[in-house]
Structure 1
Amino acid sequence: MDVEILARIQFAFTISFHYIYPPLSIGLGLVMVAMEGMYLKTGNKLYEDMARFYTKIFALIFGIGVATGIVMEFEFGTNWATYSKYVGDVFGSALAAEGIFAFALESGFLGVLLFGWNRVSSKVHFFATVMVTLGSMFSAIWIVVANSWQQTPAGYHIVGSGLEARAEITDFWAMVFNPSSIQRVCHVWIGAFLAGSFLVLSISAWYLIKNKHITFARSSFKIALVIATISGLAQLFAGHKSAEVVAKYQPAKLAALEGHFDSLAVADMYIAGYIDTKNQKTVGLRIPKGLTFLTHNDFTTPIRGLKSFKPEDRPSALNIVFQSYHLMIAVGMLMILLTLYACWLWYKGKLFEKRWLMMVFVWAVLLPQIGNQVGWYAAETGRQPWVVYGLLRTSDALSKAVTANQVLFSLILFMLVYTLLFALFIYLLNKKITHGPYSKGDIDHSPQHKIMAEEIGTL
């Protein structure tokens, strides 16, 4: 492999691993806010116990997420020096804003969230939980803004030429509110809400299958189910708005996402299929003129296809773009159907009667992770061959001094280290879940704790 492919694989691997954790922390933070809010409203100790338990899991996720995110910043300098020089002024502003407005807020209240139990009032601790959650959401804003600028650059001008060229900000707020940033931030936030809520659904379902902490698990399941259902339905709207931006500003990506080749013609929407790159056609189950309707709200307006772009300006990995995009949609629809079915059973009073459904929810924790990952793959591979759309090609963004052997060696090391980190994460997560929300030392004989005490057999 050449150095470009290896560098891209390395960055894809490190960011894919890192991207497991920030969505979980954002989504779990929202669930914790709901749980603590219920405690303040009702005074029911059960909700406080939920928040305490999931705070421990949040801390584990947050720690691994911070550690795995540091590596990417070094990769910008080692493997992508030309890119770093080109976008440094733009990214520097966005990442500085993240540090000032997001990470400082999040880390500032994190200590109160983790260690403030029984040291500050319930209202102060709830405020800290809200601030940590908002901090994680603000952090996502600035990261997505920086990435969205690569997709739809705005508020800049180019200084210098050739290898000395670089982008400078001329309008900070135009850079922040570039054509795709708002839609993509909402899309990422909702994906994170799904990741966090499905984690709680999975843990709660596992307790119910094992007949452990029944009252705790049923209550936490219902809270997470409400958040997951609303988020899944909201993602339909957010995803559609994001696709509209792609259609307007990145027509080559839209054509790759749906395997549309004809230069200028009405386009079908594929439910599933594959791209025959040799014959330049797409085969599969499709809705005739569906893409045209979703894009233009009619069945007659033509859409540019891949043949209308020069071969060197088209995404090269067409099937990766196509399959990732359609897998994201399939996973999203599956989550919606699953949560709506669970809500219908809840309405009928039969939610916890179906053991098979609880087993499905245990493993459904993987669905939002898969959706988030393949969604990112579709967005980033669909942008190729540009690293900054229409301005800087990926092949020109590489460091000139780094060699393929150096990148390969570091990639192997990263794989080993990240495999160990993931094994450690799973071990610690399993340990916390197996231990459960209660221990005998947590239980007294007050009326508020009676149900909990019965669950662990201390009465």
Structure 2
Amino acid sequence: MFDSLDALFLARAQFAFTVSFHFIFPAFSIGLASYLMVLEGLWLKTGKSLYLDLFKYWLKIFAVAFAMGVVSGIVMSYQFGTNWAVFSDKAGPVIGPLMAYEVLTAFFLEAGFLGVMLFGMEKVGKKIHFAATCMVALGTFISAFWILSVNSWMQTPTGYEIGANGQFLPGDSWWAIVFNPSFPYRLVHTVIAAYLTTALAVGGVGAWHLLKDRANAHARLMFSMAMWMAALVAPVQIFAGDMHGLNTLEHQPAKVMAMEGHYESHPDGAPLILFGIPDSEAGEVKYAIEIPKASSLILKHDPNAPLAGLDTIPKEDQPPVGVVFWAFRIMVGIGFAMLGLGMWSLLARFRRKLYDWPLLHRAAVLMGPSGFVAVIAGWFTTEVGRQPFTVYGLLRTADSASPLDAPAVAASLLAFVVIYFAVFGMGAWYMLHLMKKAPQPLEKGVKRGMKGPIRTAGITPGPTQNPGHAELLPDSDPTDEDPPEGSKDARTPEGGER
């Protein structure tokens, strides 16, 4: 059955499948760890239990996402030794130490403080627990730093020497390897993407519960914070993506040609192809909808600037245009959709209707998983656009694979497909199950532990409200907006306790 399939194709398919699963969880945990840090910090600063409620709510989800990210990451290391042994041998002297730095600086930091963060809230002081949360958030960022440094070096290799046996060896300075030309741009773009992914997920959950009860204080706060993130950070991400694209044009021009669908060179200004069907055999984008000279304006800041096309690249060095072309448009399209949602929320906030527009809430629910789709599309753009190389311009993918037979690779691929959909499918289902439930307020007005009482400042459940729903007093609404007309409104005097 598998004898007709190429072992290299199967190895690439296996890596693409596993990395697509893996990348979702770190992207979520990076942003969620920082969100938890902000929530706990706001609780410590204000004393309002609303922030603590949300911290505990998202902490459970973070624990599941973090665990699945760790497990799926182990499989990635396994594949380097089995399917890509030649690449590991040749590039190991450079990428091996960088991966070791990630373990020593990030993974140990996360593992050391994760237990305190998850289980130590009532066993250590408030400041110590907050410090542990900060260390976990820092650890997720440091992990992204090293992993993206490795990937960026494979995209824009610098600081290396070629040994006698063809290995890539470190040169005079490790800094040239770590801070390779594309690394700063890729780090900023990816980390911001993780924050937006988390913001859209949090906003989607908040909007889901607002559709059920517009007076739900927890949903209001989640939705408000998420929409601030979308409105303020989405424009920054678009700018960062543009800068990253200009850097890619300088160091990986063939990738940008594939992203733009430029099969032919344009000496008098290149058009921006919005949509079409790339046909690599014919060397054109069929049924193209384009804006004249707009691509040159974006990439060169001059509508008449010449842009080279794939006709200047040898056929054997060209990336697969179809995948890169469409993955790039999915990523960019979702980015502008995030910007639109953020601007819509600003209009609603300005008109004091942030919690009163069900259409906005439905749009936020629809956009909830969009960040995950965008990061996967961006990852495909980056990795497929690098082909046919593993180390860009120096080591071909065909020369990087282990000498395995196709049936052996196919067997492990099938095993991964079955196990991943079973294990990670259950994990994803459990996270959605947790998100479906509304955050619960503290059951008691005074909670012992943490070296002092924790008061439910300004939060009281109304007698007509469903369990788990609470309404903020006027002076504790995160946006100082009045409850919607007709909502279930029940308040007690300031300082009232459950």
- Taking structure 2 as the reference length, the TM-score comes to 0.87
Please give the per-residue CA displacement for 1:80-129, whole angstroms capped at 9, x wherever unaligned. 11111111011111111111221112221111211121222322222221
The within-5 A match list for 1:24-423 is 24-160=28-164, 164-170=165-171, 171-211=173-213, 214-263=216-265, 265=267, 266-283=269-286, 284-315=288-319, 317-400=320-403, 402-423=404-425
Two-structure CA RMSD over aligned residues (Å):
1.8
What secondary structure, in the 3-state scheme, does the structure 2 residue paired with 1:304 have?
A: coil
CA contact (8 A) 1:443 1:449 kept: no
Say if 2:457 is the partner of 1:448.
yes
Q: Distance in 1 between matches of 2:321 and 2:148?
A: 24
Q: CA deviation at 1:374?
A: 0.8
Relative to structure 1, the CA distance from residue 232 to residue 11 in structure 2 (aligned partners, 3 Å threshold; closer, same or farther) is: same
Please give the per-residue CA displacement for 1:304-354, whole angstroms capped at 9, x wherever unaligned. 210001111111x21111111111101110111012101210121111212
What secondary structure, in the 3-state scheme, does the structure 2 residue paired with 1:267 have?
A: coil
Q: CA deviation at 1:356?
A: 2.6
- Higher percent of residues as helix: 1
Deviates more, 1:361-370 or 1:240-249: 361-370
What secondary structure, in the 3-state scheme, does the structure 2 residue paired with 1:325 have?
A: helix
Corresponding letter in the other structure for 1:176: V
2:435 pairs with 428, 433, 436, which one? 433
Corresponding letter in the other structure for 1:47: Y
Corresponding letter in the other structure for 2:235: L
Q: Distance in 2 between matches of 1:450 and 1:331?
A: 37
Q: CA deviation at 1:453?
A: 6.4
What secondary structure, in the 3-state scheme, does the structure 1 residue paired with 2:460 have?
A: helix
Q: Distance in 2 between matches of 1:431 and 1:330?
A: 29
Relative to structure 1, the CA distance from residue 64 to residue 369 in structure 2 (aligned partners, 3 Å threshold; closer, same or farther) is: same
Q: Distance in 1 between matches of 2:215 and 2:431?
A: 17
Q: Distance in 2 between matches of 1:453 and 1:28?
A: 30
CA contact (8 A) 1:207 1:217 kept: yes
CA contact (8 A) 1:6 1:404 kept: yes
Percent sequence identity over matched residues? 37
Q: Distance in 2 between matches of 1:73 and 1:17?
A: 14
Corresponding letter in the other structure for 1:97: Y
Q: CA deviation at 1:282?
A: 2.0
CA contact (8 A) 1:292 1:299 kept: yes
Corresponding letter in the other structure for 2:460: I
CA contact (8 A) 1:198 1:364 kept: yes
Unaligned runs of 5+ in 2: 447-454, 469-497
Please give the per-residue CA displacement for 1:108-158, whole angstroms capped at 9, x wherever unaligned. 111121112122232222222121111101101111110111110001011
Q: CA deviation at 1:387?
A: 1.0
Q: Distance in 1 between matches of 2:461 and 2:149?
A: 45
User: How many residue pairs get matched?
Assistant: 453
CA contact (8 A) 2:230 2:341 kept: no
Deviates more, 1:197-206 or 1:270-279: 270-279
Q: Distance in 2 between matches of 1:432 and 1:35?
A: 18
The structure whose Rg is larger is: 2
Deviates more, 1:74-83 or 1:267-276: 267-276
Instruction: Give 2:20's aligned residue.
Output: 16
CA contact (8 A) 1:19 1:373 kept: yes
Relative to structure 1, the CA distance from residue 214 to residue 396 in structure 2 (aligned partners, 3 Å threshold; closer, same or farther) is: same
Relative to structure 1, the CA distance from residue 3 to residue 457 in structure 2 (aligned partners, 3 Å threshold; closer, same or farther) is: closer
CA contact (8 A) 1:257 1:325 kept: yes
CA contact (8 A) 1:274 1:322 kept: no
- Taking structure 1 as the reference length, the TM-score comes to 0.94
Corresponding letter in the other structure for 1:57: I
CA contact (8 A) 1:198 1:368 kept: yes
Relative to structure 1, the CA distance from residue 362 to residue 10 in structure 2 (aligned partners, 3 Å threshold; closer, same or farther) is: same
Unaligned runs of 5+ in 1: none
